[in-house]
C-alpha cells in the first residue's frame, strides 16, 4: 500500500490509526530490491532464478534464529548476502520497526518536537530497514528529519546511500541522510556530523543529542557472547545522548537469548527506578509498568512480539522452496527514555 502524505502540522494531535495504515511494506521498496536482484540475475548463467540466493537466505536465517549460530562477519562484502537480506529480511525489519514506533506515538503518546528537525541515529544500520521505517513513520509528523546511520560495513552503507538517494525525494522529501562507518560499541559522532552543527566545543561529542536512537537486529551481533552488564553500560552511555524527550529503541530477534537479555536490562531499569525514586531510566515499552518482569522471574518463556502482516509477493516467491513460516513478524523490543511516559488512563491500566 502506498502511503498518504500528511502535511506536518505542529498543533495537530497524532492520530495513531493513520499510522497503522502504513504498516504494509511499500511497493516502491519492494520494486527497488527486485530491481537489484534482477540486475544480478541477468548476469548469472541462463535460467538462474531467486533460488540462486537460497544458501545465503538460509545462512542469514540461521544467524538470526539460532542462539548459538556462529557470527557471519561482514556479510555486506558478499553481493549475494546483500541481495538475500534485501529480499528476505529487509521487508520484515522495515515493517517490524514500525510497530513499536506506532505504539510509542499512539499508545504511549510520545511526541517528537513538532517545531524543529528530528534527529535519529541508527546504530548497526546495515541496509537501513529500521531508519527507513522511522522516516516512513515520522516524515509526515515533523518539519524535517536528519538521520545518521552507523555501521562497520562500508558495503552495506554504500547500498543504504543508494536506496535513500533513489527513493528519498519521492517518499521522504523532508529527510536528510548521513552514513558513517564505525563500530557501534565505540562510535562517537564527529562535530560536523550533520551540516548545521555549531563549531567545536570543549567536549565536541557532548553537544550531539538524538530524539530517537534505534538499534535494530544489531546488538546480537555486536555484543555476541557478552555479559548483560556490558550491554547495560553501553545503553546507559547512549541514554545520555538523548534529548530530554528522546527515546532509545532496541529491536532484537525473537530468540530466547536475545530477548532474555533485553528482559534483564528492563528489570535492571525497573529496579533502579524504584530504588532512586524515579530518577533514572524509564521503560516506555513493551510493558506498562516498572515492576519486576513476571516472565523473567518464572524463567520459562521470553517476552517477544508476534504480529501478523501482509507478506510481500517477492518474499513469498523467494520462500517458495525454503518453506520458512513467514506468517508472523517475530521480534523483541525495549524502548526507554530519560523521562517517564505520560500517565496511563484508567482504561489502559487493565493491560498493565
Ligand atoms: C542483522 S543486520 C541489521 C541491520 C539493520 N539494523 C536492520 O535491522 O535491518 C546487523 C548489522 O549490524 C552491523 N554490526 C554488527 N556489529 C557491529 C558493530 N560492532 N559496529 C557496527 N555495526 C555492526 C552489521 O554490519 C549489520 O549491518
For residue range 3-54, what is the model confidence (pLDDT) as tens digits? 443 444 444 445 555 555 557 899 999 999 999 999 999 999 988 988 889 9
For residue 339 the three cell numbers come to: 523521562
Contacts (Cβ under 8 Å, ≥6 apart) of 296: 260, 263, 264, 267, 303
Give me the pLDDT at residue 87, please.
94
What's the alpha-carbon Rg for the chain, to the nearest Å? 20
The pairing of strands 242-252 and 210-216 is parallel
From the CA of 214, give the closest atom in ligand 1. Answer: 6
Select from 213, 225, 298, 307 the least CA-distant residue to 261.
225
Q: How many A from CA of 92 to the centre of ligand 1?
A: 15
Do residues 213 and 249 lie in contact, with contact meaning Cβ atoms separated by under 8 Å? Answer: yes
For the chain, the average pLDDT equals 85
Cβ–ligand 1 contact at 153 (below 6 Å)? yes
Ligand 1 pocket test, pick from 96, 218, 231 with the greatest ligand atom count within 8 Å of Cβ, gives: 218
- Interatomic CA distance for residues 211 and 310, integer angstroms: 30
Whose alpha carbon is nearest atom 20 of ligand 1? Answer: 183
- Per-residue pLDDT tens digits for 284-340: 999 888 888 888 988 889 999 999 899 999 999 989 888 889 999 999 999 999 999
Whose alpha carbon is nearest atom 4 of ligand 1? Answer: 126
User: Average pLDDT for residues 142-164, to the nearest whole number?
Assistant: 95
Give me the pLDDT at residue 350, please.
46
Burial of 258 (0-12, 13-18, 19+ CB in 10 A): buried
Cβ–ligand 1 contact at 217 (below 6 Å)? yes
Cβ–ligand 1 contact at 183 (below 6 Å)? yes
Q: How many A from CA of 351 to the centre of ligand 1?
A: 33
Give me the pLDDT at residue 202, please.
45
Give me the pLDDT at residue 86, please.
95
| Alpha carbons within 13 A on the beta-carbon side of 260 | 11
Whose alpha carbon is nearest atom 8 of ligand 1? Answer: 216
Contacts (Cβ under 8 Å, ≥6 apart) of 39: none
Select from 95, 85, 75, 1 the least CA-distant residue to 36.
85
Cβ–ligand 1 contact at 156 (below 6 Å)? yes
User: Average pLDDT for residues 231-256, to the nearest whole number?
Assistant: 93
Q: Does residue 253 surpass a pLDDT of 50?
A: yes
Cβ–ligand 1 contact at 155 (below 6 Å)? no
Cβ–ligand 1 contact at 190 (below 6 Å)? no
Ligand 1 pocket test, pick from 100, 158, 213, 221 with the greatest ligand atom count within 8 Å of Cβ, gives: 221
Give me the pLDDT at residue 272, please.
79
Give me the pLDDT at residue 84, please.
94
Q: Does residue 123 surpass a pLDDT of 70?
A: yes
pLDDT-based confidence at residue 61 (cuts at 50, 70, 90): confident
- Per-residue pLDDT tens digits for 86-106: 999 999 999 999 999 999 998
From the CA of 122, give the closest atom in ligand 1. Answer: 6
Cβ–ligand 1 contact at 97 (below 6 Å)? no
pLDDT-based confidence at residue 280 (cuts at 50, 70, 90): confident
Q: How many A from CA of 7 to the centre of ligand 1?
A: 33
pLDDT-based confidence at residue 160 (cuts at 50, 70, 90): very high
| Alpha carbons within 13 A on the beta-carbon side of 253 | 20
Give me the pLDDT at residue 311, please.
93
For residue 99 the three cell numbers come to: 510497530
Q: Does residue 181 surpass a pLDDT of 80?
A: yes
Calculate ∠ Cα 25-27-31, nearest 5°: 120
Q: Does residue 1 surpass a pLDDT of 60?
A: no
In percent, how much of the chain has pLDDT > 70? 81
For residue 330 the three cell numbers come to: 517475530
Say which DSSP state 147 is in: E
Task: Please name every residue paired with 343 in a beta bridge, in sequence order, or none if there are none.
Answer: none
Poorest-confidence range of 56-65, 186-195, 337-346? 186-195
**What backbone torsions phi and psi does residue 308 show, to the nearest 5 degrees?**
-75, 155
Amino acid at each position: 500500500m502506498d502511503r498518504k502524505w500528511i502535511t506536518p502540522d505542529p498543533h495537530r494531535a497524532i492520530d495513531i490509526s493513520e499510522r497503522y495504515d502504513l504498516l504494509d511494506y511499500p511497493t516502491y521498496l519492494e520494486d527497488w530490491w527486485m530491481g537489484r536482484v534482477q540486475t544480478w540475475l541477468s548476469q548469472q548463467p541462463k535460467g538462474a532464478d531467486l533460488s540462486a540466493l537460497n544458501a545465503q537466505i538460509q545462512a542469514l536465517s540461521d544467524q538470526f534464529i539460532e542462539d548459538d549460530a556462529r557470527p557471519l562477519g561482514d556479510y555486506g562484502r558478499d553481493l549475494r548476502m546483500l541481495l538475500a537480506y534485501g529480499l528476505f529480511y529487509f521487508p520484515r525489519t522495515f515493517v517490524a520497526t514500525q510497530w513499536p514506533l506506532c505504539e510509542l506515538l499512539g499508545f504511549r503518546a510520545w511526541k517528537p518536537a513538532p517545531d524543529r528537525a528530528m534527529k535519529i541515529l541508527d546504530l548497526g544500520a546495515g541496509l537501513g530497514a529500521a531508519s527507513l521505517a522511522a522516516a516512513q513513520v515520522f516524515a509526515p509528523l515533523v518539519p524535517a528529519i536528519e538521520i545518521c546511520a552507523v555501521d562497520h560495513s562500508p558495503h552495506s552503507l554504500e547500498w543504504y546511500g543508494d536506496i535513500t538517494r533513489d527513493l528519498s525525494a519521492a517518499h521522504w522529501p523532508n529527510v536528510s541522510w548521513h552514513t558513517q562507518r564505525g563500530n557501534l560499541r565505540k562510535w562517537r559522532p564527529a562535530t560536523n556530523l550533520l551540516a548545521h552543527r555549531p563549531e567545536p566545543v570543549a567536549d565536541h561529542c557532548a553537544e550531539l543529542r538524538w530524539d530517537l536512537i534505534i538499534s535494530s537486529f544489531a546488538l546480537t551481533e555486536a555484543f555476541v557472547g557478552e555479559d548483560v552488564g556490558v550491554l547495560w553500560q553501553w545503553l546507559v552511555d547512549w541514554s545520555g545522548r538523548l534529548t530530554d524527550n528522546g527515546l532509545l529503541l532496541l529491536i532484537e530477534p525473537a530468540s530466547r537469548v536475545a530477548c532474555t537479555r533485553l528482559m534483564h536490562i528492563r528489570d535492571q531499569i525497573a529496579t533502579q527506578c524504584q530504588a532512586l525514586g524515579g530518577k533514572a531510566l524509564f521503560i516506555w515499552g513493551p510493558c506498562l509498568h516498572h515492576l519486576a518482569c513476571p516472565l523473567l522471574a518464572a524463567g520459562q518463556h521470553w517476552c517477544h512480539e508476534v504480529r501478523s502482516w501482509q507478506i510481500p509477493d517477492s518474499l513469498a516467491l523467494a520462500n517458495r522452496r525454503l518453506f520458512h513460516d513467514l506468517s508472523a513478524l517475530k521480534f523483541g523490543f525495549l524502548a526507554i527514555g530519560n523521562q517517564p511516559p505520560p500517565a496511563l488512563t484508567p482504561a489502559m491500566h487493565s493491560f498493565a
